[in-house]
């Protein structure tokens, strides 16, 4: 007699994991996800799986569908999900670690042994079929950076190539947080900021063009304006001591709604400061601050800030769907076919569920260190795109080795 082969789901998955060669470097980027205390190998026999099916038919099928393929919005497919992941989730529901849901009541009535068997049963099933590809592939999302770059061609004549001005009086557009940039453009549109040059330029621009422009300039390499500066920068440094609290010591503001002044065209800075004082540019905060400044001090402060080094705001270049999915696949496996027992497979999962879960991680309703870091930077549009992408991937069955009967 040969000894029974002690190969369980976890071990089999570990073998799959080793084969996933190209992912090797990606695996290193993974945090402690794979060391969950409640991760356990699941060793089952054919009768265990049959018992799992019996339990599932009684307790799970009415929501998760026949064979673990859900036909209900908001209820995930569980067919061919990784068994240790299913088991860990059932424990999480049991212990209240996942938000209150239809699951909470269901699992309380099952023994630990039952949870193991039902997990193994669902893991052993054929995976769901992917959502159909669209008849006509959707046009790829326009690259917001390239869109901004195209629009910025009309601005370069006054604001300089890449937003570094060569025209005294016309500000550089580098170094601004997109929030300030958008507020400035909208102020020209609404007339709240009254400027005969910018008003007709801003008027026809709408979202998303404005955001594309703001992003383009935020991602340009900051450099000092290539314009002369008349004031006394050393005197300006002392006079600017009352400005640093909002605009930053060296003119790099940390609040996204406050403009950075570092490296800005000196003539523009002086004119803008005067405009706040005489009320032609309306802003309650700035009006009070500059009320007592003499024109010489304004020019000196302008010269000081103009001589400082501008910095790029903290803005991430948006990633394409391919680039995003590449990052997800580092943990979730090729096209969402996870080879790691504690990372769920997401290929061919329901699109509504994927979107719902990603939003839950983003709001913190569902907690996961690995996932909250990933999704915190995603936009609504990116979440929708990723959900659609993974729902359309072909799911591969788990390599599932059943122990010989006892």
Question: 28: exposed, middle or buried (C-beta count within 10 Å: 0-12, 13-18, 19+)?
Answer: exposed
Cβ proximity of 129 and 348 under 8 Å: yes
Q: Is the omega angle on the peptide bond into residue 208 within 30 degrees of 0, that is, cis? A: yes
- The least CB distance from residue 137 to ligand HEC, in Å, is 20
Report the candidate in 13, 7, 3 with the shortest Cα–Cα distance to residue 44: 7
- The least CB distance from residue 312 to ligand HEC, in Å, is 16
Task: Give Cα separations from 141 to 138, 326, 358 (angstroms).
Answer: 8, 17, 20
Q: Which residues contact 366 (CB under 8 A, 6 or more apart)?
A: 98, 99, 357, 360
Pick between residue 258 and residue 307 the one whose CB is nearest to ligand HEC. Answer: 258
- The least CB distance from residue 263 to ligand HEC, in Å, is 11
- The least CB distance from residue 5 to ligand HEC, in Å, is 26
- The least CB distance from residue 135 to ligand HEC, in Å, is 25
Cβ proximity of 37 and 106 under 8 Å: no
- The least CB distance from residue 11 to ligand HEC, in Å, is 19
Report the candidate in 46, 77, 65 with the shortest Cα–Cα distance to residue 336: 77
Cβ proximity of 217 and 152 under 8 Å: yes
């Amino acid at each position: 007699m040969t000894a029974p082969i002690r190969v369980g789901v976890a071990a089999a998955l570990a073998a799959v994991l080793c084969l996933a060669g190209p992912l090797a470097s990606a695996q290193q980027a993974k945090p402690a996800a794979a060391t969950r205390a409640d991760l356990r190998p699941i060793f089952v026999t054919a009768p265990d799986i049959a018992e799992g099916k019996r339990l599932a038919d009684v307790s799970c099928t009415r929501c998760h569908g026949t064979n673990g393929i859900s036909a209900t919005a908001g209820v995930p497919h569980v067919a061919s999900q990784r068994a240790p992941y299913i088991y860990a989730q059932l424990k999480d529901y049991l212990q209240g670690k996942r938000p209150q849901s239809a699951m909470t009541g269901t699992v309380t009535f099952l023994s630990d042994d039952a949870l193991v068997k039902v997990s193994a049963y669902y893991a052993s099933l054929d995976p769901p079929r992917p959502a159909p590809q669209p008849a006509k592939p959707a046009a790829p999302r326009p690259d917001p950076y390239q869109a901004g770059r195209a629009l910025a061609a009309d601005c370069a004549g006054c604001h300089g190539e890449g937003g570094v001005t060569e025209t005294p009086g016309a500000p550089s557009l580098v170094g601004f947080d997109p929030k300030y940039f958008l507020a400035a453009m909208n102020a020209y549109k609404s007339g709240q900021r009254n400027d005969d040059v910018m008003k007709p330029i801003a008027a026809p621009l709408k979202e998303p063009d404005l955001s594309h422009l703001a992003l383009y300039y935020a991602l340009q390499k900051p450099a000092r304006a290539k314009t002369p500066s008349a004031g006394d920068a050393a005197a300006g440094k002392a006079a600017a001591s009352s400005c640093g609290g909002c605009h930053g010591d060296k003119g790099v503001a940390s609040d996204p709604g406050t403009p950075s002044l570092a490296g800005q065209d000196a003539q523009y800075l002086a004119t803008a400061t005067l405009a706040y004082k005489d009320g032609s540019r309306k802003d309650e905060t700035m009006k009070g601050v500059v009320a007592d400044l003499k024109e010489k001090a304004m020019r000196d402060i302008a010269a000081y800030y103009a001589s400082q080094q501008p910095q790029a705001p903290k803005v991430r270049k948006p990633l394409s769907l391919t680039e995003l999915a590449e990052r997800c696949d580092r943990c979730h496996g090729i096209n969402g076919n996870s080879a790691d027992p504690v990372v769920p497979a997401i290929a061919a999962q329901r699109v509504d569920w994927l979107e719902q879960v990603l939003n839950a991680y983003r709001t913190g309703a569902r907690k996961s260190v690995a996932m909250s870091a990933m999704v915190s930077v995603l936009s609504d549009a990116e979440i929708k795109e990723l959900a659609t992408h993974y729902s359309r991937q072909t799911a591969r069955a788990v390599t599932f080795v059943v122990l010989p009967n006892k």
